[in-house]
Amino acid sequence: MSATLLEGAPIAEQIKADVKAAIAEMGRTPKLAAILATDNKGAQFYAQSQGKACEEVGIDFELCELPADASQCAIEDKIAALNADPAVTGIILLMPVPEGVDGRALQRCIDPRKDVDGVHPANLGAVVQGSTTLAPCTAQAVFALAKASGVPLFDAPMDAAGKGLEVCVVGHSEIVGKPSALLLLDKFCTVTVCHIGTQDLKAHTTRADLLVVAVGKAGLIKGEHIKPGAVVIDVGINRVKTEDGKSKIVGDVVFDEAVEVASQITPVPGGVGTVTTAMLLKNIIDAARLQA
């Protein structure tokens, strides 16, 4: 078998078109404020790409840089100011935060209606009820790619055979694995969540018609971990060295092996990440509507 590529671009383009139309209809320009209190190169790069994505669709972007040793109080004050600023539609707190600062406590300080990263407990909690409004962007991306793949997702507990999809999510982080699992569970999938403590990973992954992998370990999922014909959504982003001494980005799934077994697979890059960026823009529109 040779799997079809489940690319993120068509989904992302549709979301961006919807976002542009929504901005035109709103008659005001939304604004994203990103708080960066770190020298971490990855976070700086991520902030830059958020700025570019916003610019592309006509959303204002402000990078709020604080020192890499900023205190809890200083960051809380910044969040409070952005919460109170009516010109700011969405707030993102980039990770990592300075050593000794409680990132979770900071996430709780963000006004839930401006929490476009979907990290406030109120928004994470709404995912339990199947809500995708201000849900974590990557979980929404996984869900959108699952829908685009055509796997059976149900709003009610019945189909011809009376059974939902068998899903395995590898990775149980708060903003990727867990919310992805919950969104799929809400569509009557039977979801198994695996993690670092899972004893026999392969026993679970090979039962799945939809396999979502969000770990951050290149090569973790090989061809033998995949049920023939399954749809594979690879969330992982790993930089690995190539033979010529350069480096490249790969997922958690051994792509060359997986394409021989799966029916559809997301590329890395060009799959989940592409949709995740677009979902951030969609969340900014959702936030603007909540605040209107």
Minimum CB distance to ligand NAD smaller for 78 or for 172: 172
Find out whether 117 and 59 touch, Cβ atoms under 8 Å.
Answer: no
Minimum CB distance to ligand NAD smaller for 11 or for 88: 11
My answer on whether omega of the bond before 269 falls inside 30° of 0, hence cis, is yes
Least distance (Å) between residue 206 CB and ligand NAD: 14
Site track 157-196 with ligand NAD (rule: CB under 6 A), x = hit: -------------xxxx--xx----------------xxx
Contacts of 116 (CB under 8 A, 6+ apart): 32, 89, 90, 91, 92, 134, 137, 280, 283, 284, 286, 287
Phi, psi of 121 (to 5 degrees): -55, -30
Least distance (Å) between residue 77 CB and ligand NAD: 27
Least distance (Å) between residue 20 CB and ligand NAD: 21
My answer on whether omega of the bond before 152 falls inside 30° of 0, hence cis, is no
Site track 225-244 with ligand NAD (rule: CB under 6 A), x = hit: ----------xxxx------
For the segment 112-141, give every residue that binds ligand NAD (CB under 6 A): 138
The residues that bridge with 64 in the sheet, in sequence order, are: 35
Least distance (Å) between residue 174 CB and ligand NAD: 7
Minimum CB distance to ligand NAD smaller for 46 or for 154: 46
Site track 255-274 with ligand NAD (rule: CB under 6 A), x = hit: -----------------xx-
Find out whether 273 and 267 touch, Cβ atoms under 8 Å.
Answer: no
For ligand NAD, the binding residue among 191, 214, 253, 258 (CB under 6 A) is 214
Q: What is the C-alpha separation between 28 and 39, in angstroms, rounded?
A: 33
Least distance (Å) between residue 98 CB and ligand NAD: 19
- What stretches of the chain show up as alpha helix (H) in DSSP? 9-26, 41-57, 72-84, 103-109, 121-128, 137-149, 177-185, 201-205, 255-258, 272-291
- Residue 43 Cα to chain centre, angstroms: 15
Interaction site with ligand NAD (CB under 6 A): 138, 170-173, 176-177, 194-196, 198, 201, 214-217, 220, 235-238, 272-273, 276
